[in-house]
Structure formats: C-alpha cells, structure tokens
Homo-oligomer: A and B are copies of this chain.
C-alpha cells in the first residue's frame, strides 16, 4: 500500500500529499517583536526550555508559496501547488540545543496542512492575504524603499491579524527568530480519547538546497485580534525588533526524531 499519509492505495495516486522531496519557492514578510516571555515559556511542552537570550522574541510571518513534488505536476496545475501561510515562531531549547518552534500556523490549502502535520506544524486553515511586488504600474507595491505591503489573516470569518510593512533597504538575512532548525511535537491522541497520547514525538528538521533571494529590511505595524478559538492577544507585541521582505527557495525530504514516547 502506497501513500505517505492517507488514503493508502496500491498505486498511491490518491494520497493527500505526494512523495517527498517537496520543493518550495516563496515570498515572505516577517515581523519580529518581543512579547511576554512568560507566555512563550508556558507554550513550551515538557522537555523544552525557553531560549536563554531574548526569550520573548516572536516572528510573525506571512508567506506566499508555490510548491511541487519531483513530478512537477503541481506547477502546471497550480491549484495543487500554490498556497499562503501565516505563522508565529519562537525559539527554545531541547536537550540543551537551540531550536526555532512554530507555535501557531494557518494555511489555505489542505495539502499544505497535511505536509505540515507530518513536520509537527500545528496547522489550521485560514484566509491569508499579502501584497506581492508589482514590477510595473500603481496597483501594488514595488520593491523600493518607502513602499507599503499589507498582510492579513482570518479564520471562521473573523480577522485575526493584520499589518503593514514599509520597505527599507536591502539586507543580508531575514531575522533571527525563524533561523534555527525547527523542533516540533507530533502528538496523536489515543482513540480512547482519555487524555493519553498514542504517540508523542519531538522531531527536528531542516530544508536542503536553501536559496535566499532578494531581501529587504523595513518597519512594521501589526495588530492581533481575539476570537473564541484563538489566543493571539496573549502574544501581542510589547516591543518591535525588525521587519523583512524576502524570497526563499528550499526543498524538504526528511527530519529526525529527537524523542519518542509511546502510550503502549
């Protein structure tokens, strides 16, 4: 039976995600800020510790992706490869090593949601918008100082976050909060639904063939909103650090299990 996730079939054709490796090309807008370090610490599960330096640092990131598998079939049928993503990243320690960790994330396609689950990203669905560079005309922002890029996130018909990036000068790298290997938990609650887990893994992963494209620094405004099923007000900005627009290309094949606790 073939198929990474499900449904598994003799051919694997119907699998919700194609075989690895997965290739990504995207544009990202990153807002780095500081929030209450105690709130971040409380979001880290057993075995994790807060980052030693700047433990309240958060990256709020919007991304506009194109992605494909080795067949490239998703490139010529872009409804199966394009998606947008908004996520919050913090830093932490696990087994003494520093990692980045995604605490909240939304995407707008189901295949991206399942690829993310495999990697331990806590993906929900949302409606995500971000300006992209215009190369001619006045309908969108150009990649030039002073130009303004907008971003927004909504779920269940409520706006959860919105912001504006005002572009500054080119720079080398898009911040430090999302710059480490990721460390995520992959939880599967037991079907007995009694508070136990069938599996609880800590996994880490990095991409390969990472190419940074154009990168600009900037300034930002960010507003977070409440919802009956979100906790974003608790991680609202207390102090701004920096903002970035940048391009990235990367591929992903596999991660590594750092710890595994089975129920049985």
Contacts and interface: CB of A to CB of B under 8 A. Distances in A.
A24 interface: yes
Contacts of A96: none
Interface string A202-219: 010100010111100000
Nearest to A10: B42
Given A66-B139, A139-B26, A141-B75, A260 B198 contact: yes
Given A9-B43, A131-B75, A148-B75, A80 B137 contact: no
Given A4-B193, A78-B129, A78-B150, A211 B24 contact: no
Nearest to A251: B138
Contacts of A150: 75-78
Interface string A178-202: 0000000111111111100011010
A137 B63 CA distance: 14
A230 B13 contact: yes
Interface stretch (A50-58, A113-121, A236-244): A113-121
14 contacts: A5-B189, A6-B122, A24-B138, A24-B139, A79-B152, A79-B156, A110-B124, A129-B157, A137-B209, A137-B249, A154-B158, A198-B257, A199-B262, A262-B264
Interface of A: 1, 4-11, 13-16, 20, 23-26, 42-43, 45-46, 65-68, 72-73, 75-82, 103-104, 109-110, 113, 118-120, 122, 124-125, 127, 129-132, 134-141, 148-152, 154, 156-159, 162, 164, 185-194, 198-199, 201, 203, 205, 209, 211-214, 228-231, 247-251, 253-257, 260, 262-264
